[in-house]
Amino acid sequence: MKSADIDALVSFDQQHLWHPYASMHNPPPAYPVVAAEGARLRLADGRELIDGMSSWWSAIHGYNHPVLNQAASAQLATMSHVMFGGITHPPAVALGRKLLEICPPGLSRIFYSDSGSVAVEVAIKMAFQYWLGQGQHQRSKLLTVRNGYHGDTFGAMSVCDPVNGMHHLFQPIMQQHLFAEAPGCAFDEAFTEDHVADVKRLLLQHNDVIAALIIEPIVQGAGGMRFYSPAYLQRLRQLCDEYGILLIADEIATGFGRSGKLFACEHAAISPDILCLGKAITGGYLSFAATLCTDNVAEKVCSGEAGALMHGPTFMANPLACAVAGASIDLLLSQNWHANVQRIEALLKQHLAPAREFATVADVRVLGAIGVLEMKQPVDMVSIQRRFVDNGIWVRPFGKLVYIMPPYVISDTELVTLAANLVKVVATP
């Protein structure tokens, strides 16, 4: 683009377009991206950046993928959308079949929606209606752990970490739920019963009002980028069974291979009663999500006074999104995705390791295709992002967390450059 055109674009953006968690008084810079391909973003001025974010976990196959493009255009030529009330269509059914084949066992009913947050809202409604169906109206509390992130809508926000998301701002108009200590047992650490002491305390104290426990399996995403022990998750599953409450697994970030398993629940060999999927479900092409549940949950939900699950978005089961999601899953399963995620994990471990020596770095951790540098102090986002861009990489830190989860198609050379340049930028304050 010509530089005058770039200026006009950026200037309109700054004056009129809101960005995530951004001010309009004093808008932070937004880099104009005009194209993307594979693991690269192209800026309007012609520079290329190696993408470390997969557009927030979603673009697992990289950008502009011929297979996903083909699936989208074929569906576009047929029917891009039709309502799901009283109608069904082949892409919805084909995607449903695939999801039931690959998701943790026991899940059999699927609710399609438009975004991760909505998938969480639907999960919360399912859990609440499950108890309504059994005449237990008092079971309206969710139990969760600190450092979680479940989305930005009110129900989802009410189970996000109450401190680090600034969600306390909304306290007066938000449901109050129960927060146990964050999982204190890191991925490779030995689990002991002490690690669930706080969860057990809350279960005992509030047993009669809890509907469900909601948690991100193994990887806590935007609420702290921490990886916890599979044995901890196993124990939570047992505790939910002991107390007869539902387990909601939010795999919106972890689903589709990111943690080294197709779904993070597999690390612990458990199945939730309700599962939320989003982000990578369409390979980053369209906003789409799904909430799955067991026969038992569906049966109780539908035996209540309402006789139905009380939710139904306009764009439910959007055919275009379903078609691309189906193609994205086929594409993933058609490759040795597991070895590929292991390749990324090994390179991240090797090339992020030097940052351990920095006085400013508190921790370096890697799981699957996720690499995290936890800093001792929050970074200055605007200046560090400019330096990332100047070094040809796209990384979007958050607070003390500088993290990457690149598209699985990233080459060894691109990945080594991404990690090395990230470490180089972080090395100089």
* Sheet strands side by side (includes 141-145): 107-113, 289-294, 274-277, 246-250, 210-215, 141-145, 178-180
Q: What would the DSSP string read from start to end of 312-373?
A: --TTTT-HHHHHHHHHHHHHHHTTTHHHHHHHHHHHHHHHHGGGGG-TTEEEEEEETTEEEE
* Sheet strands side by side (includes 40-43): 33-37, 40-43, 48-51, 393-394
| Non-local CB neighbours of 197 within 8 Å, separated by 6+ positions | none
Q: How far is the CB of 385 from ligand PLP (least distance, A)?
A: 20
Q: Which stretch binds ligand PLP (CB under 6 A): 116-124, 193-201, 345-353, 373-381?
A: 116-124
Q: Number of C-alpha atoms within 13 angstroms, CB side, residue 230?
A: 14
Identify which of residues 253 and 375 has a Cβ nearer to ligand PLP in the complex: 253
Q: How far is the CB of 55 from ligand PLP (least distance, A)?
A: 11
Identify which of residues 38 and 278 has a Cβ nearer to ligand PLP in the complex: 278
| Annotated catalytic residue within 5, 7, 21, 208 | 21
- 158 touching ligand PLP, by CB under 6 A: no
Q: How many CB atoms lie within 10 A of CB 50?
A: 28
Give the distance from CA 56 to its chain's centroid: 8
Q: How far is the CB of 86 from ligand PLP (least distance, A)?
A: 27
* Sheet strands side by side (includes 401-404): 361-367, 370-375, 401-404
243 annotated active-site: no
Q: Which two tokens stand for residue 275?
A: 């599962």
250 annotated active-site: yes
Q: How far is the CB of 417 from ligand PLP (least distance, A)?
A: 26
Query: 163, 179, 224: which is closest to 363 by C-alpha?
Result: 224
What crossing angle do the helices spanning 197-206 and 230-243 adopt, rounded to 10°?
Answer: 20
Quote the DSSP letter at residue 29.
P
31 annotated active-site: no
Distance CA 45, CA 31 (A): 10
149 annotated active-site: yes
Identify which of residues 160 and 352 has a Cβ nearer to ligand PLP in the complex: 160
Q: How far is the CB of 218 from ligand PLP (least distance, A)?
A: 11
Among 196, 222, 292, 425, binds ligand PLP (CB under 6 A): 222
Give the distance from CA 307 to its chain's centroid: 31
| Annotated catalytic residue within 63, 112, 130, 149 | 149
- 216 touching ligand PLP, by CB under 6 A: yes
Q: Which two tokens stand for residue 168?
A: 């306390």
Identify which of residues 96 and 165 has a Cβ nearer to ligand PLP in the complex: 165
Q: Which stretch binds ligand PLP (CB under 6 A): 8-16, 36-44, 113-121, 181-189?
A: 113-121
Of 184-213, binders to ligand PLP (CB under 6 A) are none
| Annotated catalytic residue within 232, 250, 400, 408 | 250
- 278 touching ligand PLP, by CB under 6 A: yes
Write the binding mask 241 to 270 for ligand PLP: x where contact by CB under 6 A, - elsewhere.
---------x-xx-----------------
Write the binding mask 126 to 155 for ligand PLP: x where contact by CB under 6 A, - elsewhere.
-----------------------xxx----
CA distances from 289 to 40, 225, 252, 339, 398 (A): 25, 21, 8, 26, 24
Distance CA 113, CA 422 (A): 36
Among 52, 104, 133, 221, binds ligand PLP (CB under 6 A): 221
How many residues bind ligand PLP (CB under 6 A)? The answer is: 15
Q: How far is the CB of 195 from ligand PLP (least distance, A)?
A: 21
Q: How far is the CB of 154 from ligand PLP (least distance, A)?
A: 12
**∠ CA(219), CA(225), CA(229), 5° rounding?**
40
User: Which residues are catalytically annotated?
Assistant: 21, 149, 250, 279
Positions in the binding site for ligand PLP (CB under 6 A): 115-117, 120, 149-151, 216, 221-222, 250, 252-253, 278-279
